[in-house]
Amino acid sequence: MTAEDIATWPIEALAPRLRDGELSAATLVEAVLERIAGYDGDLKAYRELSSGAVQAARAADREIAQGRYRGPLHGIPVALKDNFLTADMPSCLGVDLPPQTFPRRDAVAVRRLREAGAIIIGKTQMHGFAWGIVTPPTRNPWDRDRVPGGSSGGSAAAVVAGLCGAALGSDTGGSVRIPASLCGCVGFKPTYGLIDKDGIVTHSWSLDVVGPLARTVGDAALMLEALAGPGYAAALGQPIDGLRIGVCRQHFFDRNAPEVQNAVETAVAHLAGRWAALVEVELPHLPYGLGAILAIELASCTAGQAGLLRRGMQKRMPEDVRTLLELGAFVSGADYLRAEQVRRLLMEDFRTAFAVADVIITPTTPVTAWPHGETNVPIGDGQESILSAAWRLTYPFNLAGLPAITLPCGFDSRGLPIGLQIAGKPHAENTVLSLAHAYEEAHDWTHRRPDLA
Amino acid sequence: MARIAPDALAALCAEVFGLDLDRERLEVLAPQLEVVLAEIKRSRELDLAAVSPAVVFDPLCVYPPGENDG
């Protein structure tokens, strides 16, 4: 195995070799750092690298040699989205603020990864304040002229390009799943509240969720175990015969790029043909969902960053981020509470749907990665704004707090990845993971790697 | 917003919203605010009198488990 090879292997392949001493964490981390040196000047997935990664890897090797193996993440290099507070690196949230703006301490999720033996490689680029779907200056590994998605774009690009073993992101309206779909990796948004989010700079209190990005569903399950406790990796083999797959044609299948639609329909037909039954479901209050999440997210973020706004620091931010921070001040209290009422109606819709379906399957994004600088994308016979299209299929599951995973289900005619989203009812992570794993095992989409040369 | 004089609107923003927004900045925000408010206002057509908000007050939220068992 070459250094180039091991940096792109999934955790499932690396972990037993690390455990048995066939591979050292120091070798693995040095391979990843070499790969970062070779490719990240172009991809720009990272904002900052940890100066202590090699030292931490050597410490991991000593522990493993002494029989103190911590588990599958021991010695695995992991990247963090730059809104996760860290004790050893500043957090800049993708904007030009003084490095001391946010505290230097480890977020709970970071602490749990370190306790699991993971090696923190660095902080990845994110769209400013988690308010966007582009993540400048990061580039999509499959086509450098296209965006990686956002706001966890740096984490997704790093995973797909083999610049880390796995990564953390945060997902408020789709910010783990959108870049995972556009870059072609697995991205998991668990049930709201499953993973302690203390130490993530808050975007929206009732929407923010910690989520792993990884090369395989199995790797995502291993990350979830380190973050939320045991029981997820073992569930991957649980039987899925007879699962009921819910498909909501309204909203999720009525306005997608043809190649995305075809790939997802093919995936649904495959799952229904082999293991599961197909059920049509409806979510009658979805037309009011966008207004609800806008009210909640805008008001929450503006309130959460009141200190920065009081000091006028939004004037130092990119225009799109500044605008959204200021717009939140105009959401009235009455409209905010109405949004929470609409949210409950949508949650009831999902509850009704999950009485007849075990999962709901949708495309993750209606289009594949778009070129840098584009503000509209062609869909069907018309155009749609990127801001409207990119999160249209992901945010409903944030509003309802439901677990939702994305994994690749094909590539379009330009060679760009297409994402399949599988969602379940609250705390049904194992059902979602099991079905995703079964689909992944039957296809080779997650084995494909971009040519970074 | 278009019917409120710009100076009065700037004063309203500063007093009510705590934001220093001059006339130029308000002109930048106005069209985008119009788009956002159009979506938010859609829920005003719903009869939500019998619907409780999803996020509600919980008097136990500051007590660790077991500390306030009554």
Q: Is the pLDDT of residue A396 over 80?
A: yes
A18 membership: H or E segment, kind and range: helix A11-19
Question: What's the gap in Å between the CA of B55 and the closest CA on chain A?
Answer: 6
Mean pLDDT score of chain B, rounded to an integer?
A: 84
Are residues B54 and A344, on separate chains, in Cβ contact within 8 Å? yes
Q: If you average pLDDT over residues A412-418, what whole number do you get?
A: 97
B44 to A337: CB separation less than 8 angstroms, yes or no: no
| Residue with token string 């997650």 | A446
A339 touches chain B (CB under 8 A): yes
Peptide bond into A103 cis (omega under 30): no
List, as own/partner pairs, every contact residues A388-393 make where C-beta atoms lie below 8 angstroms and the sequence separation is at least 24, other chains included: A389/A365, A390/A133, A390/A149, A390/A174, A390/A178, A390/A365, A391/A133, A391/A173, A391/A174, A391/A178, A392/A251, A392/A255, A392/A290, A392/A366, A393/A174, A393/A251, A393/A252, A393/A362, A393/A363, A393/A364, A393/A365, A393/A366, A393/A421
Q: Is A299 on the interface with B (CB under 8 A)?
A: no
- Residue-wise pLDDT tens digits, A241-254: 899 999 999 999 99
The answer to whether A434 is a known catalytic residue is no
Asked if B29 reaches chain A (Cβ–Cβ under 8 Å), the answer is yes
Q: Angle A217-A360-A174 (CA atoms, 0-180°, nearest 5)?
A: 65
Contact B40/A323, CB-based, under 8 Å? no
pLDDT digit string, tens, across residues A59-69? 999 999 999 99
How close A295 comes to chain B (CA, Å)? 6
Cβ atoms of residues A165 and A32 within 8 Å = yes
Catalytic pick among A44, A81, A123, A425 = A81
Catalytic-role residue among A50, A151, A204, A434: A151
Question: What's the helix, strand, coil split of chain A in %, to 5?
Answer: 45, 15, 40
Residue with token string 């291993």: A222
The pLDDT score that the predictor gives to residue A380 is 80
In the block, residue with structure tokens 């800049």: A92
What gap in Å lies between CA A126 and CA A175, rounded to an integer? Answer: 9
Query: Which pair of tokens denotes residue B17?
Result: 């919203």
Return the SS3 of A393.
coil
- Residue A66: burial class (beta carbons within 10 Å; 0-12, 13-18, 19+): exposed
pLDDT band of residue B57 (cuts 50, 70, 90) is: confident
pLDDT at A415 over 60: yes
pLDDT of residue A407: 98
Closest CA to A184 of A222, A221, A210, A146: A146
Helix, strand or coil, per DSSP, at residue A217: helix
Band the pLDDT of B9: cuts 50, 70, 90.
Answer: confident
pLDDT confidence of residue A3: 60
Per CB-CB distance under 8 Å, the chain B contacts of A294 are 36, 39-40
Q: What pLDDT shows up at residue A402?
A: 98
Res A308: pLDDT? 87
Asked if A81 is an active-site residue, the reply is: yes
How would residue A238 be classed by pLDDT, with cut points 50, 70 and 90? confident
Q: Do A312 and B46 touch (CB under 8 A)?
A: no
Residue from A279, A234, A264 nearest A417 by CA: A264
As a whole-number percent, the residues of chain A with pLDDT over 90 amount to 86
pLDDT over 80 at A419, yes or no: yes
Residue A201 pLDDT: 93
Confidence of residue A235 (pLDDT cuts 50, 70, 90): confident
Classify burial at B68, counting beta carbons within 10 Å of its beta carbon; exposed 0-12, middle 13-18, buried 19 or more.
exposed
pLDDT digits (tens, 9 = 90+) for B13-42: 888 888 888 888 988 999 999 999 999 999
Cβ atoms of residues A247 and A268 within 8 Å:
yes
pLDDT at A445 over 80: yes
Pairing of strands A404-411, A186-189: antiparallel
Helix (H, G, I), strand (E, B) or coil at B40: helix
How wide is the angle at C-alpha A310 spanned by C-alphas A304 and A315, nearest 5°?
95
Cα separation of A62 and A328, whole Å?
50
Residue A328 has pLDDT above 60, yes or no: yes
Which of B17, B40, B54 comes nearest A295 by C-beta?
B40
Q: Does the active-site annotation cover A91?
A: no
Whether residue A209 is predicted with pLDDT greater than 90 in this model: the reply is yes
Mutate to test the interface with A, among B24, B43, B45 (most CBs of A within 10 A): B43
Tell me the shortest Cα–Cα distance from A345 to chain B, in angstroms: 8
Average predicted confidence (pLDDT) for chain A:
95
Q: Does B32 touch chain A (CB under 8 A)?
A: yes
- Please say whether the beta carbons of A315 and A122 come within 8 A: no
- What are the DSSP calls for A245-289, one per residue? EEE-HHHHSSS--HHHHHHHHHHHHHHHHHT-EEEE---TTGGGH
Asked if the model's pLDDT at residue B68 lies above 90, the reply is no
Work out whether the CA dihedral A7, A182, A135, B40 comes out positive or negative.
negative
What do you get for the CA distance between the two ends of chain A, in Å? 19
pLDDT average, residue stretch A8-24? 97
Q: With CB atoms and an 8 Å threshold, state whether B25 touches A326.
A: yes
Question: 10 Å Cβ neighbour count for A380?
Answer: 13
